[in-house]
Structure 1
């Protein structure tokens, strides 16, 4: 009997070395399904740390590099059959654009952490490069990988709620309730530094997730917004708290909150979508449940793994009902979509949209435009119209 198990794809990682929380998360998620293996990297901006991190992960010396430039140069010298098939970027935001642009321009498939880049100009340039080269480019808005988020998307877009009237999304954390950056905390230091984080703090770090969650589930486009951004911890240069009102094309209204100074809270991302016929509610800290409240009829709690869920949600499940799945599995679902697209394109095929289900470079570009618009609105203390021609449309799988 012939083994039809596809060989594992080769990927390289930029950033994510020793002490970097998110790099390990990406590697664990990729390893979960066994679709790809880490074969090369430039795991830190510090040469000694990069090499030590690579050795600790078992990278051969010829694939373990002191910089992303050295990694790119080495991979371009290899034959196409030997090169890595994807490059994963998990560095602070200030370096996303030069790294992603260089690898995409060279014809590599890329996966980049969010927010995508610092400016809309950079985002448009990256979108154009990806379109010209025809490669795969994923952005790790990982919360869209949860099965019950995909169930919510299917229910909203199939009309189960009727026309959408109101969307409320909150992302509340408490880890920056004190000035951790002053104490030398690495994660806090770069996230509160405008040169590295970009024009926004909490809004860029977690508000970008909130915007993407709304766009993914509802398919609505933000037409205009009014934002109030502020630093509530004294001396902080970027916002640690953001609140805004949203108006969507078609008339729906929304509220978005992104705050990292809610003392005692952990990772409280929650979404409520209300339409003419009912409401859906989902919480990231209880990700296996989706509440459906009907205008007429009994409320119900949908649970992950149930046989009556939609196809997109069922495909995102690995364990039977009652066995909780969470953060790593959601991340892994994003990577499963990326790798399915890479394999399909490599075979000259178009991937099934429900298999290649992941946020694209256009989603990342829209998120950057959203951040810029919110920063401008807060500074001007007025409603700001989003020029949709400068951002990107919401993908619709239907």
Structure 2
């Protein structure tokens, strides 16, 4: 029996005090598919070394910047160098760093948004194909077992023809600072130079959009959108709604807000078909609600034999034991590991650069629709 080899993992960003860095590292460790070797963890090299020492990593594999990371790693024998790199930097650095890594032949696991523009995302997609690397975009919520079960049931026709989709992502985190001009000037997500074209729709609205296309298999053809910055001197949206037209003729909604007072992380999706409906919400992720006319409500949960293969392989706990966001991210890392090794994996095992391209096109179409007086705007593919 051949020995199972762990993938050598690197990380750009994600050092001291990085919440999302912790999520990625725990997710990578959970499936026992990766070993974190080194990286460029912080723009401050001393902080990066302190972080590496805390994790008992080799300081020689802790680099001051991405250029040095690539140069030094490529100089190592192929069987020693880092193979896959996690990019968990501020938004504006995703594109240039991912581009460098892809061109150097590394597999990439990238936080979203994938880029600042759709044109940049298309360029990355072309480079991924050219250099034959695996690119994973961490739309984390697609990793939940019951989201994957939702995808399976819809593909199997359990709902009939889809005729209405409603996806919502409500948070209230920015509400305490948005009403104070001095405070909001310090929030990097409201700075176009760091956050890109959009705050709310780019940060969380795109998750709701991705959830629709992931679970239903539908493609969004057009959007009619409106966004709100709340104050004239605030350059980026903090609230928005987009009506969507899908390629099967159905319509739906993407609703997102960061000023939904006291909301925490309220992502939910409802898909209505001619035969039945499915509903799921992130704050109660173990429950998938299946509704049929004239029938009692069914509640499906992970860990049971009635679920499909994609949900089964995404479930690590016995029935009744909650699975959360770390498990969800870990499922994405597991699918990525199988792709990196050239092993078989199920469709939907991890979001790809294609999801990044679609997300950026959605964001740009929403902004164009709102900016042109709330008109239907095509998402050209």
Shared topology, TM-score over 0.5? yes
Query: Counterparts of 1:244 and 1:201 in 2: how far apart (Å)?
Result: 15
- Is residue 2:346 matched to residue 1:353? yes
Query: Counterparts of 1:55 and 1:97 in 2: how far apart (Å)?
Result: 29
- Is residue 2:245 matched to residue 1:247? yes
- Is residue 2:48 matched to residue 1:56? no
1:53 deviates by 2.1
2:367 pairs, out of 336, 351, 375, with 375
Correspondences of 1:210-221 after superposition (within 5 Å): 210-221=208-219
Deviates more, 1:327-336 or 1:241-250: 241-250
Correspondences of 1:103-122 after superposition (within 5 Å): 103-122=101-120
Correspondences of 1:235-274 after superposition (within 5 Å): 235-274=233-272
SS at match of 1:372: helix
SS at match of 1:351: coil
1:388 deviates by 3.1
Deviates more, 1:235-244 or 1:10-19: 235-244
1:233 deviates by 6.0
| Kept after mapping to 1: 8 A contact 2:310/2:346 | no
SS at match of 2:187: helix
1:69 deviates by 1.1
| Kept after mapping to 2: 8 A contact 1:55/1:64 | no
Normalized against structure 2, the TM-score is what? 0.96
| Kept after mapping to 2: 8 A contact 1:40/1:64 | yes
Query: Counterparts of 2:194 and 2:17 in 1: how far apart (Å)?
Result: 18
1:315 pairs, out of 313, 316, 331, with 313
Correspondences of 1:66-105 after superposition (within 5 Å): 66-105=64-103
Deviates more, 1:112-121 or 1:236-245: 236-245
Correspondences of 1:198-347 after superposition (within 5 Å): 198-232=196-230, 235-344=233-342
Deviates more, 1:152-161 or 1:50-59: 50-59
Query: Counterparts of 2:152 and 2:30 in 1: how far apart (Å)?
Result: 25
Query: Counterparts of 1:329 and 1:144 in 2: how far apart (Å)?
Result: 11
| Kept after mapping to 2: 8 A contact 1:148/1:303 | yes
Normalized against structure 1, the TM-score is what? 0.92
SS at match of 1:263: coil
Query: Counterparts of 1:240 and 1:175 in 2: how far apart (Å)?
Result: 10
- What is the match of residue 175 of structure 1? 173
Structure 1 pair 57/185, CA: closer, same or farther in 2 (3 Å)?
A: farther
Query: Counterparts of 1:233 and 1:263 in 2: how far apart (Å)?
Result: 17
SS at match of 2:176: coil
The CA RMSD over aligned residues, in Å, is: 1.8
1:153 deviates by 0.3
Structure 1 pair 234/326, CA: closer, same or farther in 2 (3 Å)?
A: farther
SS at match of 1:388: coil
Query: Counterparts of 1:267 and 1:331 in 2: how far apart (Å)?
Result: 16
SS at match of 1:19: coil
Query: Counterparts of 2:51 and 2:259 in 1: how far apart (Å)?
Result: 32
- What is the match of residue 37 of structure 1? 35
Query: Counterparts of 2:102 and 2:255 in 1: how far apart (Å)?
Result: 33
Query: Counterparts of 1:185 and 1:9 in 2: how far apart (Å)?
Result: 41
| Kept after mapping to 1: 8 A contact 2:87/2:111 | yes
Structure 2 alignment gaps of length 5 or more: none
Structure 1 alignment gaps of length 5 or more: 345-349, 390-398
Query: Counterparts of 1:249 and 1:273 in 2: how far apart (Å)?
Result: 15
Query: Counterparts of 1:241 and 1:233 in 2: how far apart (Å)?
Result: 12
Query: Counterparts of 1:53 and 1:182 in 2: how far apart (Å)?
Result: 34
| Kept after mapping to 2: 8 A contact 1:277/1:296 | no
Post-superposition CA distance 1:148-173 (Å, at most 9, x none): 00000011111100010000000001
| Kept after mapping to 1: 8 A contact 2:362/2:379 | no
Which aligned segments of 4 or more residues in structure 1 are displaced greater than 3 angstroms? Answer: 180-186
Count of aligned positions: 380
Query: Counterparts of 2:206 and 2:35 in 1: how far apart (Å)?
Result: 29
Query: Counterparts of 1:216 and 1:192 in 2: how far apart (Å)?
Result: 28
1:299 deviates by 2.2
| Kept after mapping to 1: 8 A contact 2:137/2:351 | yes
Post-superposition CA distance 1:182-221 (Å, at most 9, x none): 77799x7221111111000011111111111111000111
